[in-house]
Structure 1
C-alpha cells in the first residue's frame, strides 16, 4: 500500500523588506516563520464527473418558466369560531318566528294591523298566554317548534382499527389474567364494514323489487322470509332427525323438511321445530 506524505509543519514564505530588517535584528533572528495555509473558496474539479459544464444562461432560463395556472388569492382565518350554515337561518327558524309573535302580542301591534296587512300564519294573534318556562324549555323539548341546531358543536368520527379485545376471553370465556387484564373482556360479535354494506345492498335489492311489483317498498311479508328459508334449505338432501334420506317428506310452517315419521316422533316430545326451535304446534 502507498503511504501518504506527512504535511509540513513549517512553511517558508517570502518576507517583505520591512519585515526582513526586524527578523534579522530581533532575538528570533534566523528562525522559520510558521505560515497557516488559507483555504480557498474555489471548488476543486471533480475528475470523476462525466457531466458537461453548465452555463449560467441555461440555468437562468430554466428558472424563469412561466406557468399557465392562475393565481387565486387565499384568505386564511381562525376557523375556531366558524359557524355551521347548513340549517335554517336564526332569524327565520321556528324559534325566531315564535319570539316575534310573542313580542307582537305583547306590544299590541298584532291588533293594530289586524285586517289590514296579512303577515302570514306565523303572525296570527295568540289568545293563549304562554309562560316563560314554556318558551325557555323549547330549547330542549321542541314543543313550540323544531329545536335550533347547535352552532358550535362539531361532529367527529373515530375509526378503531385495534379494539383491544381479549382474544382468550372472547373465544373461550376464560382469561388467566382475570380482572388485571388490560384488554376488554367482551364476547360480543361485531360486524365489519363490508358485512354491513352487503346486508344493506340485499335489503335495498328487495325494496326495489317490491317497488317494481307495485307493493309497499317498506313492507316485509312473511312469504318473503319463508321463501328465503326455502332457498337456504334447498341444499337439504336428508332428514336432520334420522340423518337419512327423506321418506314421505313433510314441510313445517318455518320451511324445514323432515320425514313424516320423524316429525311425528319429534312432536310427541315437543311442539317446536327440530332445527330452528320455532313454535309450530305440530303443523
Structure 2
C-alpha cells in the first residue's frame, strides 16, 4: 500500500511581543512538532532588529503574510488582531489559533467567525493557555452542568495599566481585594489582557452569561492563580493552576507559549491528547 507522508505545516504568527517571541523561539527549536515558522506579521517591521528569526520571515505587509502559503495562523497580538485578521485567515484557507480569546465575548464576532470556519472547512483552535481542564469541562457539557466558577488571583504587578488601577491604589494595597464579580462576558471586556481565561472557560463550558468570575488583586502572592470549580451530572471538578508570570509581561505567563507549542505539535503528531 502506498502511503502519503503528511507534509510539514507552515505557520504564520501575528504579533511578536512576549508570547509571540516565546512561540517563535519554540517553533525554531523544534518544540512544535513538524511545524515551520514561515511568516511573522507585525505593525512596523523597522522596529525590530537583531531578531533570531530567519531572514524574510518578519513582515508588516498583510498581503505578503497571507500569501505565504500558510496552513495555520497563530494570534498573539490582542483582541484587535482577532477582530481584524481571524476571518481573513479562515477565508484564505488557514486554521486559526486564537490566544486573545476574550475578543469572542463579542457574540456577533464569534458567530461570524464560526460561520466562515464552517464554510471554509477550517478550525478555530483555542489552546488551554493559562488554564487547565478545558477538555474535561467540554466533555461535561454533554450532560447537565449546574455551575462553573472561575476565581483569578494575580499579584499587584500584573494589574498595572488595567481597569484595577482605576478603582484601587495599587501602591498601598495590603491584602487580597476583590475587584470584580460577575459573569464572564463582562469580565473579558473589563480585563482583556488578564482574564482571557474566563472566555476560554466559557466557550468550552456553559457560555459567557452562565460562567461566574471572581477577580482579585493579591499582594501576598507572586504567581498568577486560577481556580476553577464546576458541578454537574458528571460530578464535581476543582482545578487550581499557579502560573509563573513572564518577566517581559506579568499579565501573561510562560505556560501560554508552551500551550500554543503543544497545540501546534498535536497538529502533526500521530498521538493526540484530548
TM-score, L = length of structure 1:
0.13
In our comparison, the structure showing a higher alpha carbon Rg is 1
Structure with more relative contact order (C-alpha pairs < 8 Å, separation 6 or more): 2
Point out the structure with the larger strand share: 2
TM-score, L = length of structure 2:
0.13
